[in-house]
Amino acid sequence: MTFRGNGHWPINLGDATIYLTVVVLLAVNTALQPNFIQVSNLLYVLGTALPLVFAAAAQGLVMLTSSIDLAAGSIISLTNVLVVVFIGQGSVVAIGLAIAAGVVVGTLAGLLTTLLRLPSIIVTLALSSIWAGLALYILPTPRSGLPASLGQLTTGSTPLWVTLALVGAWLWLARTPLGKRIYALGSSENAAYMAGISILRTKLIVFAISGGLLALAAIMLSATTGGGDPLSGAPITLQTIAAAVLGGISFRGGKGSLVGAVAGAIVLALITNVVFYTGASAFYQGVVYGVLLVLALALSRFTSHRWVRVPRPSFTRSIG
């Protein structure tokens, strides 16, 4: 069951199973706690999930080009800290500065992977430790005191509009030449290059957008916590990868949709919710979370259009 965003389906939604998973988890949550399904509660859950939603979109975009960003969490920490530190200059300045920093930091990762031809997994691992250190240098201990106005970003009906805006932005991007280039690059860098696509430019733009989205994730995080924390981003990196994979974005790139990654992030939030409702003790919460994650992944595999088969390279290419 697949919405073939790249051809079959008019809009680019990726693998359909993730949306099914969302529905299943909504049902499970409601079964455990009948009040769950109320609109205000759903909006609240979405609000708490927003940082991960943006971060997963950032990761998904990078993964579409068959790269990976292990610095996602550290970039969130860094930009999160910047928001709090510069909030005195006004919200607009703080937010603008954070986004600018995210874009610069993302572009740097793109430059290093393309110009030096280093694998993104190593480059971003190294950068991750630099940005994490920088965040701690700027703000050694967590600080609160953000204006209440910022908190409105993740309360009321705003989370819904913000999410829809993100989805809309992706659907637009997917229909531009840049969107096509991202998919082309992800499915075969060689073929894309031979077809005249600039690998450098496409990757730079992708990493820049991704950095911007991570800054937005950090702003959402500040909005939910009301402060800044130099360690806040650390656990997010692996969650972003989990969300993207759940959402049907392949590690090998070129396949999937950011809408899927957004849904993947929502699935992770719903799983957290289930763990909370089961009343498992703190010791077992990790175990329950892990088991549910594996179940969700298995669900997406079994209902997927077909098993992904990797074509084996033939040993003897030329004959005669």
Partner 1 sequence: MAAPMSGRQGLTLTSVTKSYGPTKALRGVSLSFSPGEVHTLLGENGSGKSTLVKILSGVVRIDSGAIHLGGDPLVFGSPSDSLRSGIATAFQELTVLPALTVAENLFLNRYPRRWSGTIGVKALNREADQLFEEFELELSARTPCRELSLAQLQLLEVARAVSRRPRILILDEATSALDAPEARQVMTICRKVSAGGTTVIFVSHRLDEVLEISDRVSTLVDGRIGSTREGASISHDALLNELVGHRHTVGVAEVTGEARAAKAARPPQAAVRARFEIPASAGFRNDLQIELRQGEILGLAGLQGHGQKRVLRILGGDVSGHGTQHVIDGHTIRARTPREAIANGVYYIPEERKVEGILTGHSISTNMTLSSLDRLTRFSWIRRSLERQLSKQTSVRLGVRLHSLRDTIDSLSGGNQQKVVLGRGLLSQPKVLLLDDSMRGIDVRAKNEIYRLLAELAGEGTSIILNSTEIPELTALCSRILVFHDQDIFAELEADQVSESNILRAMFGRTEERAA
- Interface residues with partner 1 (CB under 8 A)? 4, 6-8, 172, 175-177, 180-181, 183-184, 187-188, 190-198, 254-255, 315-316, 318-320
Residue whose CB is less far from partner 1, 40 or 316: 316
Q: How far is the CB of 203 from partner 1 (least distance, A)?
A: 14
Q: Are 218 and 102 in contact (CB under 8 A)?
A: yes
Q: How far is the CB of 310 from partner 1 (least distance, A)?
A: 11
Q: How far is the CB of 136 from partner 1 (least distance, A)?
A: 40
Residue whose CB is less far from partner 1, 66 or 239: 66
Q: Are 60 and 260 in contact (CB under 8 A)?
A: yes
Residue whose CB is less far from partner 1, 175 or 301: 175
Q: How far is the CB of 109 from partner 1 (least distance, A)?
A: 23
- Rounded distance between C-alpha atoms, residue 239 and residue 121, angstroms: 16
Q: How far is the CB of 244 from partner 1 (least distance, A)?
A: 17
Q: How far is the CB of 197 from partner 1 (least distance, A)?
A: 7
Cα–chain center distance at 173? 16
Q: How far is the CB of 179 from partner 1 (least distance, A)?
A: 8
- Rounded distance between C-alpha atoms, residue 144 and residue 230, angstroms: 12
Amino acid found at 209:
I
Residue whose CB is less far from partner 1, 35 or 318: 318
- Rounded distance between C-alpha atoms, residue 29 and residue 45, angstroms: 11
Q: Which residues of 242-276 are buried (b: 16+ CB within 10 A; e: fewer)?
A: bbbbbbbbbeebbbbbbbbbbbbbbbbbbbbbbbe
Residue whose CB is less far from partner 1, 1 or 126: 1
Residue whose CB is less far from partner 1, 281 or 314: 314
Q: Are 45 and 99 in contact (CB under 8 A)?
A: no
- Rounded distance between C-alpha atoms, residue 213 and residue 227, angstroms: 19
- Rounded distance between C-alpha atoms, residue 100 and residue 35, angstroms: 41
Strand partners, 15: 2
Residue whose CB is less far from partner 1, 78 or 245: 245
Residue whose CB is less far from partner 1, 76 or 209: 209
For tokens 């993730």, name the residue: 18
- Rounded distance between C-alpha atoms, residue 241 and residue 207, angstroms: 15
Q: How far is the CB of 155 from partner 1 (least distance, A)?
A: 34
- Rounded distance between C-alpha atoms, residue 76 and residue 81, angstroms: 8
Whole-angstrom CA distances from 245 to 37, 63, 66, 263 are 26, 9, 12, 11
